[in-house]
Amino acid sequence: MLIGIDASRAVAARPTGTETYSRQLIQALLALDSSHQFRLYFRTAPPADVFPGADARPISFPRLWTHARLSWEMARRPPDALFVPAHVLPLVHPRASLVTIHDLGYLHFPQSHPWRQRLHLDLSTRWSARAAAHLLADSEATKADLATHYGTPPAKITVAYPGYDETLAPVRDPAAIEAVKARYGINGDYFLYLGTLQPRKNLARLVAAFASLQLVPTLVLAGKRGWLYDALFTQARRLGLEGRVLFPGYISPEEKAALLSGALAFVFPSLYEGFGLPVLEAQACGCTVIASNTSSLPEAAGDGALLVNPTDTAAIGAAMQRVASDAALRDELVERGFANARRFSWAACAQSALDVIEQFVV
């Protein structure tokens, strides 16, 4: 069978969650022991060594790449099946088409997205949910959202939990941790958030919770600056936290493990997540996790995190205070986190995707 994959999101220079998902899942599909051929479609040519064994097809186009150029490719040279792991289904597509839906956060928290982005997400997700032969969902929470908000039959949705980068591991070398801390101006103990800085991540409440603490000198809010991030800088200044709340920006994959390993705790109070990959990454690095008790995060975190109500600033602060002052609790959560992370793998996710594709190809 020839399986086509929209790999346009898999080669981003600074990948975020869905782009990481695309790259890791495609690599895991190529690594499976199967007789299928894979053809990957890109906007621009990928590095030669990223997807070994695949037929890489760069098909450049200035605008409307998916619905114009990829559709034209599907009409002229269709594969037996098409998989879209991190984008929208093209207008022209094979009958056997599979799309991953990561989350419907734009419906739960519309104020967290610019209106044009919200409209695009709604229309594109509705289209993919209706037109695809089958859907993958990152979690039971996303599957339930698809059924509730778009009327998608549950039988049309398979939950395939993402994996995480299994090269991530605790950094045991204190010098390596101190070098990363020095690079970003971090002194002493610190709480860490790692992800896009945007309203849905609930960082304003995290900053307010941190302001009530006296034990830990630093809160590090690391990640790409998203929509309305300026409000966080203003809030930190207003609360007198300049120099204690740090914004180091995007963290490279090479530095992520050391930054997580050195943190007192990873705090992820997001209002909504389709899965919550950063939680697994923190657990894999031996970092204590505090996370929200809503959406998919309990599925991802298992019993390896301290779960809190993300709308309760006092509860977030109490959890941070508890973790900071209780070394035994931190050790227990780290061990539970290691065990929880082992439940997830890209190989299992890839096998689930392949099993679904094979169902729809005669």
Q: What is the CATH number of the domain that holds 6?
A: 3.40.50.2000
Q: Answer whether residue 168 is part of any domain.
A: no
Token look-up 């705790």 returns 265
Instruction: For residue 70, give the DSSP letter.
Output: I
186 and 122 within one domain? no
> For 78-94, what is each residue's pLDDT tens digit?
999 999 999 899 999 99
Q: What is the number of domains present in the chain?
A: 2
The boundaries of the domain holding residue 223 are: 174-341
pTM as predicted: 0.90
10-62: pLDDT as tens digits: 998 778 788 989 999 999 999 999 999 999 999 988 888 889 889 999 999 98
DSSP string, 119-173: HHHHHHHHHHHHHSSEEEESSHHHHHHHHHHH---GGGEEE------TT------
Is the CB of residue 243 less than 8 Å from the CB of residue 270?
A: no
102 and 40, same domain (yes or no): yes
Residue type, 200: R
Same domain, 137 and 215: no
What does the pLDDT look like over 108-156, one tens digit per residue? 888 777 888 889 999 999 999 999 999 999 999 999 999 999 999 999 9
DSSP H/E element including 5: strand 2-6
Strands 265-268, 190-194: pairing is parallel
Residue 159 lies in a domain: yes
Residues 158-180, mean pLDDT to the nearest whole number: 95
Q: Are 39 and 82 in contact (CB under 8 A)?
A: no
- Position 6 in a domain: yes
Whether 159 and 206 share a structural domain: no
> Do 179 and 308 belong to one domain?
yes
Of the two residues 362 and 313, the one the predictor is more confident about is 313
